[in-house]
Amino acid sequence: MVAYDGSLAVVDTTTDTITTTLKVGENPAAVAVDSKTHSAYVASSPGNVVTVITR
Protein backbone atom coordinates (compact mmCIF):
# COMPACT_ATOMS: atom_id res chain seq x y z
CA MET A 1 0.00 0.00 0.00
CA VAL A 2 1.43 3.40 -0.95
CA ALA A 3 0.62 6.78 0.57
CA TYR A 4 1.19 10.18 -0.93
CA ASP A 5 3.28 11.25 2.05
CA GLY A 6 6.30 9.40 0.64
CA SER A 7 5.81 6.14 2.51
CA LEU A 8 5.04 2.51 1.73
CA ALA A 9 3.12 0.35 4.20
CA VAL A 10 4.10 -3.31 4.47
CA VAL A 11 1.00 -5.42 5.09
CA ASP A 12 0.87 -8.89 6.66
CA THR A 13 -1.79 -10.50 4.48
CA THR A 14 -2.55 -13.25 7.01
CA THR A 15 -3.63 -10.71 9.65
CA ASP A 16 -4.42 -7.71 7.41
CA THR A 17 -2.25 -5.47 9.56
CA ILE A 18 0.49 -3.00 8.72
CA THR A 19 3.77 -4.40 10.03
CA THR A 20 6.04 -1.48 9.14
CA THR A 21 6.18 1.72 7.14
CA LEU A 22 9.11 2.54 4.84
CA LYS A 23 10.14 5.91 3.45
CA VAL A 24 10.24 5.99 -0.35
CA GLY A 25 10.31 8.78 -2.93
CA GLU A 26 7.91 11.71 -2.99
CA ASN A 27 4.38 10.87 -4.19
CA PRO A 28 4.71 7.09 -4.70
CA ALA A 29 2.44 6.04 -7.54
CA ALA A 30 2.94 2.30 -8.12
CA VAL A 31 4.58 -0.82 -6.70
CA ALA A 32 5.91 -3.85 -8.56
CA VAL A 33 7.06 -7.02 -6.77
CA ASP A 34 9.54 -9.59 -8.07
CA SER A 35 8.89 -12.84 -6.19
CA LYS A 36 12.07 -14.46 -7.50
CA THR A 37 14.39 -11.81 -6.06
CA HIS A 38 12.13 -10.87 -3.12
CA SER A 39 12.34 -7.23 -4.19
CA ALA A 40 9.80 -4.45 -4.53
CA TYR A 41 10.10 -1.46 -6.83
CA VAL A 42 8.26 1.76 -5.98
CA ALA A 43 7.80 4.34 -8.73
CA SER A 44 7.52 7.93 -7.54
CA SER A 45 6.92 11.26 -9.21
CA PRO A 46 7.94 13.99 -9.68
CA GLY A 47 11.53 13.20 -10.50
CA ASN A 48 10.99 9.78 -12.09
CA VAL A 49 12.46 8.01 -9.04
CA VAL A 50 12.35 4.24 -8.45
CA THR A 51 13.05 2.99 -4.94
CA VAL A 52 14.25 -0.62 -4.69
CA ILE A 53 13.39 -2.53 -1.52
CA THR A 54 15.12 -5.85 -0.96
CA ARG A 55 14.39 -8.50 1.60
pLDDT digits over 12-24, tens only? Answer: 999 999 999 999 9
pLDDT number for residue 51: 93
Task: Work out how many domains the chain is built from and give that number.
Answer: 1
Q: Per-residue confidence at 52, pLDDT binned at 50, 70, 90?
A: very high
Give the global pTM.
0.76
> Going by C-beta distance under 8 Å and a sequence separation of 6 or more, which residues neighbour residue 8?
1, 2, 21, 22, 23, 24, 28, 31, 40, 42, 51, 53
Rounded Cα distance between 28 and 35, Å, is 20
> Domain range holding 38?
2-54
Residues 29-51 have pLDDT tens digits of 889 999 999 999 999 887 789 99
